[in-house]
Amino acid sequence: MTHARGVLVVFEGVDRSGKSTQVAQLVSRLNALGHRSSAYRFPDRQTETGKLIDAYLSASGGGLDDRTIHLLFAANRFVAEAMRSLRNSLMQGETVVVDRYAFSGVAYTLAKGAQGLDKDWCKSVDAGILKPDIVFFLDIPTQDASQRGDYGLERYEKLEFQEKVRTCFLDLVDKSNWKIMDARQTKEALSDEILGITTTMIQENGDKPLLPL
Ligand code: T5A
Ligand code: NA
Residue-range domains of the chain with CATH: 8-204 (3.40.50.300)
Q: Whose CA is nearest to atom 36 of ligand 1?
A: 20
Which value does ipTM take for this structure? 0.98
Contact call for residues 7 and 202 (beta carbons, < 8 A) = yes
Q: Would you call 195 exposed, middle or buried from its count of C-beta atoms within 10 A (0-12, 13-18, 19+)?
A: middle
Q: Whose CA is nearest to atom 4 of ligand 1?
A: 108
Atom of ligand 1 nearest to the CA of 185: 52
Q: Per residue, what are the HEC states of 41-74?
A: ECCCCCCHHHHHHHHHHHCCCCCCCHHHHHHHHH
pTM of the model: 0.97
Atom of ligand 1 nearest to the CA of 74: 7
Q: Which ligand is nearest to the CA of 107?
A: 1
- Please tell me if the CB atom of residue 21 comes closer than 6 angstroms to any atom of ligand 1: yes
Q: Per-residue confidence of the chain (213 residues) as pLDDT tens digits?
A: 456 899 999 999 999 999 999 999 999 999 999 999 999 999 999 999 999 999 999 988 888 999 999 999 999 998 877 889 999 999 999 999 999 999 999 999 999 999 999 999 999 999 989 999 999 999 999 999 999 999 999 999 999 999 999 999 999 999 999 999 999 999 999 999 999 999 999 998 867 899 999
Q: Whose CA is nearest to atom 48 of ligand 1?
A: 148
